[in-house]
Amino acid sequence: MCENGDIKDYPPFSVLMSLYYKEKPEYLRQCFDSLLNQTVQANEWVIVKDGPLTEELEQVLHEYENKNPNLIKYVTFEKNQGLGLALRAGVPACSNELIARMDTDDICREDRFEVQLKEFLKDHNLDICGSHIKEFDENPEKCHSIRKVPLNNEEIIQYQRRRSAYNHVTVMFKKNSVLKSGNYEDAPLMEDDMLWTRMILAKCKGKNVDEYLVYVRTGLSMIERRGGWSYFKKYKASRKKVYELGLASYWDYIYTLIVQLIVALVPTSIRKFVFEKALRE
């Protein structure tokens, strides 16, 4: 709660999501329910329809829209654009200065937004706030790994030189801070990394709370997407931008490429172990 214990004293905020046809309707329901069960709820969901959706997904949207009138706002693309461009269109569509990111197959802890809003109320210079995550396959009560991130702004800057310093699905940020940093861009599988880099270079202040505010669905498909030569080339292109923008040193750049090349080219079973154990806790 705020100092006077009144929920109405929290600033209004939007939740930004991108949805495309491969999402499972049951996952979308779980995501939406976790948003509606928050101790402090958003007054707006901005959902980017990234290309045509299935009839089943449209039915879920209509159901929640009917039960929660005036809550959902849509940005619609006739063809799939990819996450970076979808979010790039979604940010300016948000009506509020504070925006919480969410993926449509993940689940928020019931006090996620309350915890983050408190941080923005305590520090008016804060531009972005994230948290650790717990990862699961099907049952959020059976997490197989966690991903911790650095907590204060100085640690975040150092960490971002080699790895993503925020868990994308956990962040709440200021709209104007994202826009002044250049907004999201088309950087497949690295959209978040590029935004964090540009926000750091734009002198935005960040932090991560030392809590697990989101349960993230991983599974074998996520592990498979992060393998192969094609993924490595996308990763290399983005890490090169981080180097060219001046955040990372040349050694940081080379080090990350060596590590990622190994991870991308090993068999999926080994990559799964690396992601769930070696790079997690």
pLDDT of residue 153: 97
CA–CA separation, 125 vs 121, rounded Å? 9
Residue 244 in tokens: 């060219």
Question: In a structure prediction context, what are the per-residue pLDDT tens digits for the chain, which is 281 residues long?
Answer: 344 445 568 999 999 999 999 999 999 999 999 999 999 999 999 999 999 999 999 999 999 999 999 999 999 999 999 999 999 999 999 999 999 999 999 999 999 999 999 999 999 999 999 999 999 888 888 888 899 999 999 999 999 999 899 999 999 999 999 999 999 999 887 899 999 999 999 999 999 999 999 999 986 556 656 667 788 888 888 888 888 988 989 999 999 889 888 877 777 666 566 655 555 55
pLDDT of residue 3: 42
Which amino acid belongs to residue 270?
I
pLDDT of residue 4: 40
Rounded (to 5) percent helix, strand, coil in the chain: 45, 20, 35
Which amino acid belongs to residue 86?
A
The total of other beta-carbon atoms located within 10 Å of residue 81's CB is 18
Is 41 strand, coil or helix?
A: coil
pLDDT of residue 268: 66
pLDDT of residue 207: 98
pLDDT of residue 198: 95
CA–CA separation, 49 vs 77, rounded Å? 6
Give the closest residue to 166 by CA, choosing from 201, 131, 198, 200.
Answer: 131
Q: Are 141 and 64 in contact (CB under 8 A)?
A: no
CA distances from 64 to 13, 37, 45, 55, 96 (A): 19, 13, 11, 15, 21
CA–CA separation, 27 vs 232, rounded Å? 28
Give the closest residue to 105 by CA, choosing from 276, 226, 219.
Answer: 219
pLDDT of residue 2: 41
- Torsion, CA 17, CA 275, CA 198, CA 35, rounded to 10: 20
Give the closest residue to 223 by CA, choosing from 188, 260, 264, 193.
Answer: 264
pTM confidence score = 0.88
